[in-house]
Structure 1
């Protein structure tokens, strides 16, 4: 396919600008090099501004007196400008060469950030040409290489050649995944994608077959974040892979096949996000994750089953003394072991252990809602501060629970500050459920209802009376009723947030 020079955003540039530098026609909300550099090095920009008043010459010279007096960003050191450029999307980073003579060599000198997604071009053939051209033109080193949703077809040799390019030597971040066009074919991850193991800090592999021969030999001494999505990987291969990651902090596993039981032993892991789903029709009788066992994770802070109905069936937490955030926990989890406490389909079989001073944020997905089940979780997590409840209404559910002040629940007495009830109908089962917290949570600050109906004035007045809001246990509590069910899905981008269940979904409260 012929690609004209005007189609290639890295070779033909407009005349140098004589005003403050600005990336022309950005295709995203990425700030211009000037804005990004100013944010990254504001102090230096102000310091150098005083030099302009003294009519000093900027580093590298300007194109004219106008540029000399207006182009403050170009006064920054090359290493600062290079850092800014390497954080920009590929197209915008390359376009900085159009700013002035001062900027022209900087893109090739800065660490390469190569994102070969639709942002580069939405035409597949052009993308092939552009990636090859960039890897040929840029001398390296590379910071990031993103190749998501690549159509394999007859391009395995070309993709493998890209990954072997000397430009990518020392790569710190890789994102690699295929677009599955024919589920009956194999989509092998090129072994060359793993040659960066010594330097990678972030790795995402999606919709591919992970090589089994190399795993026992792989060591990722710098890897802090690992995402596997839609990958076919054997159980022993995944365990070998995790054993080779001595500083891993974040592990995200979505819809992978080949692992029935995953055991976690990591001194550094802080976050686990996991979901189970069948990998289409690519594998006959697929092995899906049944058991997740946290044997020893002293730094683990969050354990997040991303989608309630996608398992795993059994979760066992043996040792995770710093666990603070957990959910969604649902009836789809057949057995949940927390220390020696066992929940079977959200019903406590025993309450012999409490995770003291640990779990502070909990999200539950339950039928009913089932107040008895939720109270058992409150007892298990005495330091709970935030509770999110999503429930499918059962009209026959009875939520009559008498709180005994002689047998207090610690989190209700001293810690629980926020309760969010999603899919709230305002019928007897969920009214009685919510009223339990209204009347008994003594330090509650906010309670939010995601309402199914339209929240008109008559309905609101009726709810105010039925929930006994005037008799609230916490005098400082704020009640909010929001139209809509407030559904929250833990996507891969949300699982890393401080509170992955919190968002701006309550901005339009009624």
Structure 2
């Protein structure tokens, strides 16, 4: 770990007394650890954005309690599991969490009565340290938005009753089985949280209609569906909707679909046609992803 003397001098400046927003970027390696003097801002900070820092000083992090912090963004930082969990536990008012390219994590468990949004981008560091494998939303009663961009093997949503926006699930890595989203052999139950989801973002190499229809059963109140995909030449995308086994969101709620790669080919047309014919309250189909 490397401490920077001039950083310590900055943070001790009387001009920074009562600091509410800390936006700090450290370029290059080795990454620096923030000096202990940064702790004096803990009672007043409301927004923290840090990039290029090393958080392996567990004692300093455990002493960090941020009772007023609303927004935390960590990008390209090194931090162990236990340290991150201690940090999050000390943020009793946190509403927004963004983790981007984190090194040193293997699992993140979210227990927060205040978090409303989580935005996660997986780690792409080529290092021997374990990369993040699992994100578990264990108890987040106020969580409304969960966006995950790659780099994860397992995503579990155990308790998030107000979750309204969910993405970006890859239908190539997940499947739907009796109302449960499954990845590899590990089930992620979304039965309770799924009813709250109004906006769903799906990613796919090929927009497989059968798989997407299976997903829709897990989100019965879905109102808007985003599909980020790339068509295969051999895709036909023909699917028969069984009216004897109706899908609730198609019958009552789905009003908008956004397709980001519509090319007007037969597979594209068949895909859109299914929703035009079967989504009873559909108002808009955006074939160019402009909304």
Partner of 2:52: 207
Partner of 1:385: 223
Check if 1:240 corresponds to 2:95. no
Structure 1 stretches lacking a partner, 5+ long? 1-153, 451-485, 487-504
Within 1, Cα distance between the matches of 2:42 and 2:96?
A: 16
Of 125, 148, 170, 1:330 maps to 170
Deviations 1:376-421 (A, max 9, x none): 1211101101100111112223422111222221111111111011
Question: Structure 1's 433 and 340: CA in aligned 2 closer, same or farther, altered over 3 A?
Answer: closer
Question: Structure 1's 246 and 364: CA in aligned 2 closer, same or farther, altered over 3 A?
Answer: same
Check if 1:158 corresponds to 2:3. no
Within 2, Cα distance between the matches of 1:208 and 1:348?
A: 33
Q: In 2, are the aligned partners of 1:231 and 1:255 still within 8 Å (CA)?
A: yes
Q: What are the within-5 Å matches in structure 2 for residues 162-173 of structure 1?
A: 162-173=10-21
Deviations 1:443-463 (A, max 9, x none): 11111112xxxxxxxxxxxxx
Check if 1:297 corresponds to 2:140. yes
Equivalent residue pairs, number: 289
Within 2, Cα distance between the matches of 1:338 and 1:172?
A: 47
The higher relative CO (CA closer than 8 Å, separation ≥ 6) is in 2
Partner of 1:311: 151
Q: Which runs of 4+ in 1 moved over 4 A?
A: 334-340, 347-352
Secondary structure of the structure 1 residue equivalent to 2:243:
coil
Check if 1:196 corresponds to 2:41. yes
Which is strand-richer, 1 or 2?
2
Partner of 2:271: 433
Q: In 2, are the aligned partners of 1:424 and 1:449 still within 8 Å (CA)?
A: yes
Deviation (angstroms), 1:428: 2.5
Question: Structure 1's 222 and 339: CA in aligned 2 closer, same or farther, altered over 3 A?
Answer: farther
Partner of 1:176: 24
Within 2, Cα distance between the matches of 1:351 and 1:239?
A: 23
Within 2, Cα distance between the matches of 1:340 and 1:251?
A: 28
Q: TM-score, normalised by structure 2?
A: 0.91
Q: What are the within-5 Å matches in structure 2 for residues 357-506 of structure 1?
A: 357-450=195-288, 486=289, 505=290
Deviation (angstroms), 1:260: 0.5
Secondary structure of the structure 2 residue equivalent to 1:263:
strand
Secondary structure of the structure 2 residue equivalent to 1:435:
helix
Within 2, Cα distance between the matches of 1:267 and 1:204?
A: 21
Deviation (angstroms), 1:357: 4.0
Partner of 1:224: 70
Deviation (angstroms), 1:336: 8.0
Partner of 2:131: 288
Q: In 2, are the aligned partners of 1:313 and 1:335 still within 8 Å (CA)?
A: no
Within 2, Cα distance between the matches of 1:209 and 1:286?
A: 14
RMSD of Structure 2 on Structure 1 (CA): 2.7
Deviation (angstroms), 1:427: 2.1
Q: In 2, are the aligned partners of 1:317 and 1:337 still within 8 Å (CA)?
A: no
Deviation (angstroms), 1:216: 1.7
Q: TM-score, normalised by structure 1?
A: 0.53
Check if 1:249 corresponds to 2:89. no
Question: Structure 1's 176 and 202: CA in aligned 2 closer, same or farther, altered over 3 A?
Answer: same
Q: In 1, are the aligned partners of 2:157 and 2:188 still within 8 Å (CA)?
A: no
Deviation (angstroms), 1:191: 2.6
Instruction: Decide which moves more: 225-234 or 186-195.
Output: 186-195
Question: Structure 1's 186 and 406: CA in aligned 2 closer, same or farther, altered over 3 A?
Answer: closer
Partner of 1:32: none
Question: Structure 1's 229 and 337: CA in aligned 2 closer, same or farther, altered over 3 A?
Answer: farther
Check if 1:265 corresponds to 2:108. no
Deviation (angstroms), 1:340: 7.2
Within 1, Cα distance between the matches of 2:192 and 2:95?
A: 25
Secondary structure of the structure 1 residue equivalent to 2:213:
helix
Q: In 2, are the aligned partners of 1:354 and 1:382 still within 8 Å (CA)?
A: no
Of 175, 180, 193, 1:341 maps to 180
Of 122, 125, 138, 1:276 maps to 122
Secondary structure of the structure 2 residue equivalent to 1:293:
strand
Deviations 1:116-135 (A, max 9, x none): xxxxxxxxxxxxxxxxxxxx
Question: Structure 1's 337 and 263: CA in aligned 2 closer, same or farther, altered over 3 A?
Answer: farther
Secondary structure of the structure 2 residue equivalent to 1:362:
strand
Structure 2 stretches lacking a partner, 5+ long? none
